[in-house]
């Protein structure tokens, strides 16, 4: 499988909120880098974090506009949207980008680039 296919499968798993499918696609040494530049490495903790995020934003979705691939790095540019606890009055849509480093058909690194102000503000 090409890196782009692996990364797209990961986006599909995220959009489906399918933690098991996400887990299968994560490399054992997976690293998640959040929009604030913080890196997280603990595999189980990351999956728990995704589960919590999907509870907060049960309609969270990545919308891909452009995709670039070079060697084992895939970059997506598009939008992210969701609403806090599914409340339409707390909905948001923001420009975002994601970078995946793919090794051996697994996501070794998932880096998110976005302004998190709207999603965080929607929680209050």
- What does the pLDDT read at residue 7? 98
Q: Which residues, including other chains, have CB under 8 Å from residue 40's CB and lie 6 or more apart?
A: 31, 32, 33, 34, 46, 49
Is residue 101 within 8 A of residue 107, CB to CB? The reply is yes
- What does the pLDDT read at residue 42? 78
Nearest Cα to 62, choosing from 103, 32, 35, 98?
A: 98
Q: In this structure, what token pair is assigned to residue 87?
A: 């409340």
| Pair type for strands 106-114 and 61-70 | unpaired
Provide the residue ranges of all domains of the chain, joining segments of one domain with +: 3-122
Give the separation between CA 45 and CA 53, rounded to whole angstroms.
Answer: 12
Q: Is the pTM of this model over 0.75?
A: yes
Topology (CATH) of 3-122 = Nuclear Transport Factor 2; Chain: A, (3.10.450)
- What does the pLDDT read at residue 124? 85
Q: In this structure, what token pair is assigned to residue 41?
A: 């490495």
Main-chain dihedrals φ then ψ at residue 42, nearest 5 degrees = -70, 115
Per-residue pLDDT of the chain (124 residues; tens, 9 = 90+): 899 999 999 999 999 999 999 999 999 999 999 999 999 997 778 999 999 999 999 999 999 999 999 999 999 999 999 999 999 999 999 999 999 999 999 999 999 999 998 898 898 8
């Amino acid at each position: 499988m090409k890196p782009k296919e692996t990364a797209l499968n990961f986006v599909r798993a995220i959009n489906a909120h399918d933690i098991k499918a996400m887990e299968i696609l994560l490399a054992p040494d997976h690293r998640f880098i959040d929009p604030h530049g913080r890196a997280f490495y603990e595999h189980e903790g990351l999956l728990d974090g995704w589960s919590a995020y999907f509870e907060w934003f049960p309609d969270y979705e990545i919308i891909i506009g452009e995709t670039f691939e070079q060697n084992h790095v895939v970059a997506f540019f598009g939008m992210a949207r969701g609403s806090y606890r599914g409340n339409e009055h707390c909905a948001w849509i923001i420009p975002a980008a994601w970078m995946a480093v793919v090794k051996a058909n697994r996501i070794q690194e998932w880096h998110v680039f976005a302004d998190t102000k709207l999603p965080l503000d929607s929680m209050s």
